[in-house]
Amino acid sequence: MKAIWHSLDVSLDQLNEIGRPTMAAYLGMEFTEIGPDYLKMMMPVDHRTIQPYGLLHGGASVALAETIGSMASALIIDQEKQICVGMEINANHVRGVKEGYVHATAKPVHIGSTSHVWDIRITDDQHRLVCISRLTVAVLAKR
């Protein structure tokens, strides 16, 4: 399969370094795999990402989904000429998680010249579906 990425010269270390001064680092998110047409990331379920009932906060799942989808779009565009920004995100939370990690996988639904749409599946450590999200990203000319 042909890779969808603009450049194949990117490492997980580089992706994780980009997130160091951001909310992604604060929440403990970490990129774990780059495939030819997908990106994977994980996030701990801990004091930073739970709600008062001790379950993974839905907003943390959405932050994970937007982070991975936005980075996936950034890897597709020519960053010398373009930027990408989130336009719309939705999420269906289907299972609660109290401990361990959640794992997100972003795959493209649509890669156009002005927008990208990502399907993001979040699972728990036992590979059970936790959240399904769809993110639409706008691709804009760099000013």
Calculate the CA 37 to chain-centre distance. Answer: 13
For the stretch 77-132, pLDDT in tens is: 999 999 999 999 999 999 999 999 999 999 999 999 999 999 999 999 999 999 99
Domain 12-141 belongs to what architecture?
A: Roll (3.10)
Q: Which of 17, 30, 33, 66 is catalytic?
A: 66
Please check the confidence at residue 20 and state whether its pLDDT lies above 90.
no
Encode burial over 120-136: b for 16+ CB neighbours within 10 A, e otherwise. Answer: bbbbbeeeeebbbbbbb
- What's the rounded Cα separation, in Å, for the pair 62 and 126? 20
Domain residue spans in the chain?
12-141
The DSSP 8-state label assigned to residue 48 in this structure reads T
Q: Active-site residue 17, yes or no?
A: no
The pLDDT, as a whole number, for residue 114 is: 97
pLDDT bin (cut points 50, 70, 90) of residue 7 is: confident
